[in-house]
Amino acid sequence: MLSIGRFIFELKPTTNQNAMGIFFIVWCLIAVLQLGYWGLVFQRLAWYKAPKNLTAVSFPAVSIVICARNEAANLQKNLESILLQDYPIFEVVVVNDNSSDGSLGVLRVLESQFAHLQVVNIEKKEGKGKKAALTKGIQSAKYSWILLTDADCRPISSSWIRKMSQQAAFNKSAIVLGYGPYEALETWLNRWVRFETIYVAIQYFSFALWKMPYMGVGRNLMYQKALFLQEKGFEQHQHITSGDDDLFVNAVANHKNTTICLDNESFMYSEAPRSWKALYHQKTRHYSSSSSYKLKHKVLLALLSSTHFCFYLGLCIFMVTNVWNYAIIVIFILRTFFLHLVFFKYLEQVKQISFLKYVFILDALLPIYYIIFASSLIGKQDKTWK
């Protein structure tokens, strides 16, 4: 009896060691995938150089389309800076989507001052979300290029349209993915929103550079009207409330027709959510549409987030069990180096280098974010956009 007890006692450490050995091998495989993303896939964006001094023989006429629902204050604040863009021929189409505030009055005043402002007034709400309103705006547009933004967005310069158009002409592309950062505030909520926005931008810009475009953001997105009509607009995902930007790009973008614009004068700034509740509502709506991406994009994004989560989970387990070796330390240092290299180079491009000091801690907290929003990938679609 004593010998059996001694055998079990001696066997337990060996069993635990074997389990930890297997766990270590699995974690190393996970870490290799993470290193693949940060050390290879995202490096293409890190070292991307935006073309300088672009010239075009002629600039195509552009229709800027904005959907607004109860946005009177934002229209007063931002619309004039869009109407005063430095561009040969353009119009601004604002769809007043059944607003109950003073939006229509603001638009009528501006319409009397700017001949190139076209107001499309929807008195009765059609469907959920803003796809119906956006479709009306695009159908009402006079010109062959559509440039999308939101009522709460403000262009960083008067050359916004020019820079986006130059990228389309230079690359002979039908879709241009622009950048829509958030204005900076000294709060942790704002830092988190900006980090998540930068992180997502790194992903969709990088995949576009690898000829696998999968999404864009409606705050700054340009495409040919003919492409929208040819693909029958949002018909493929009309049943989904959100996704007027990312799902459309996911459906129609390919390795030949899409480019990116990271010129500093092309950015479209907006105010970040001011509460955690507002952020949760916004992200739940956005993430719910990603479940309808093409399979290859879902697999690539799922691998990125799941390996990110498991990478830190493994580190926590190693810390709790006090299991460390040089391989774990080297892998951690390598991933941290490539992560910061990508963020450094990207933040340098977009003139936000001071944000680099927050990257390490926010990246480590991101797995918690995955847990919070995991249900959004399989949950019910949000029914409203405002």
257 burial (CB, 10 Å; 0-12 / 13-18 / 19+) is middle
The domain total for the chain is 1
Burial code of 330-358, b = ≥16 C-beta within 10 A, e = fewer?
ebeeebeebbbbbbebbbebeeeeebeee
DSSP letters, 340-372, are HHHHHHHHHHTT-GGGGGGHHHHHHHHHHHHHH
| Rounded Cα–Cα distance for residues 288 and 315 (Å) | 29
Question: pLDDT tens digit string along 64-117?
Answer: 999 999 999 999 999 999 999 999 999 999 999 989 999 999 999 999 999 999
| 328 belongs to a structural domain | no
- Cβ neighbours of 145 (radius 10 Å): 24
CATH number of the domain where residue 253 is located: 3.90.550.10
Which tokens belong to 225?
């009207």
DSSP-derived 3-state class of residue 289 = helix
Domain coverage including residue 232: 62-287
Residue 293 lies in a domain: no
Domain for residue 237, yes or no? yes
20-32 per-position pLDDT tens digit: 788 999 999 999 9
Cα–Cα nearest to 66, from 82, 52, 89: 82
Answer yes or no: is 168 within a domain.
yes
Per-residue pLDDT tens digits of the chain, which is 386 residues long: 434 334 333 434 555 677 878 899 999 999 999 999 999 999 999 999 988 777 766 789 999 999 999 999 999 999 999 999 999 999 999 999 989 999 999 999 999 999 999 999 998 877 677 888 999 999 999 999 999 999 999 999 999 999 999 999 998 999 999 999 999 999 999 999 999 999 999 999 999 999 999 999 999 999 999 999 998 888 888 778 777 888 999 999 999 999 999 999 999 999 999 898 888 888 877 777 887 899 999 999 999 999 999 999 999 999 998 888 899 999 999 999 999 999 999 999 999 999 999 999 999 999 998 888 776 555 444 445 55
pLDDT in tens, 278-311: 888 888 777 778 878 999 999 999 999 999 999 9
Has residue 239 been placed in a domain? yes
Has residue 364 been placed in a domain?
Answer: no
Residue 184 domain-assigned (yes or no): yes
Residues ≥6 apart with Cβ < 8 Å to 18: none
Question: Which among 153, 204, 169 is positioned nearest to 62, based on CA atoms?
Answer: 169
366: how many CB neighbours lie within 10 A of its CB?
A: 16
3 state SS of 173: coil
Helix (H, G, I), strand (E, B) or coil at 172: coil
